Amino acid sequence: MPFQRLTWPVRTERLLVRPLGADDIPAVFAIRSRPAVARWMTACPDDYDEFTRAFSEPARTDTTLVMLHGGALVGDLYLAVSDAWGQHEVAAGTKRTQAEIGWCVDPSYAGQGFASEGAAELLRLCFDGLGLRRATAAAFAANTASIRVMEKIGMTIEGRGRRDCLHRDLGWVDGVTAAVLADEWRAGRPDPKPR
């Protein structure tokens, strides 16, 4: 459980970031059930009880952080540590060396740089906090705002899968993957603030 290895909460210039708690679930549901948010997310939640059950399980509580600004929950962040791929003889060296990260912001607070600020903090947690070597992110290619967040925090777009993702409304569409390595991040942390 990587979050237990870190000290909470953490603060950025404008955000307080900490692991999801049971009291946060109504606000997270309210954000994630908004059509503009659900459009690009893995799931479109419509049943509060089902959502509460899912977000009370370790699969979510071990991977979900919330972002608070002035006491208001403005979005959530995803940080899931995993093993890299490696050949059998060196497989031990691949264990828990990378993470997938993600973000979601209340549309009422969009366009203020909160996703970029939270995502930049995710990288700090991945590399300084957890000592990981690589962080990845994925999005539908049409999700330009999310891809911009990846670029702003210093991730490199590594691939565009041709119609490799099935979207609930758009059908088979292109997906984008991005990554940043710990040493790249150390060499030049980009400023996540708007240009």
Ligand X SMILES: CC(C)(COP(=O)(O)OP(=O)(O)OC[C@H]1O[C@@H](n2cnc3c(N)ncnc32)[C@H](O)[C@@H]1OP(=O)(O)O)[C@@H](O)C(=O)NCCC(=O)NCCS
Q: Would you tell me which residues interact with ligand X (CB under 6 A)?
A: 37, 40-41, 102-105, 110-116, 139, 143-146, 148-149, 194-195
Least Å distance, CB 139 to ligand X, is 4
Nearer to ligand X, 1 or 170 (CB): 170
As beta bridge partners, residue 141 has: none
Least Å distance, CB 4 to ligand X, is 26
Least Å distance, CB 148 to ligand X, is 3
Nearer to ligand X, 64 or 146 (CB): 146
Nearer to ligand X, 117 or 182 (CB): 117
Least Å distance, CB 175 to ligand X, is 10
CA distances from 129 to 11, 87, 170 (A): 14, 27, 38
Q: Are 134 and 101 contacting, i.e. CB atoms less than 8 angstroms apart?
A: no
Phi, psi (deg, nearest 5) at residue 14? -125, -5
How many Cβ atoms are within 10 Å of 23's Cβ, its own excluded?
A: 9
Residue located via tokens 């608070």: 68
**What order do you get walking across the sheet with 72-82 strand by strand?**
10-11, 16-19, 64-69, 72-82, 98-105, 134-140, 171-181, 156-167
Nearer to ligand X, 56 or 108 (CB): 108
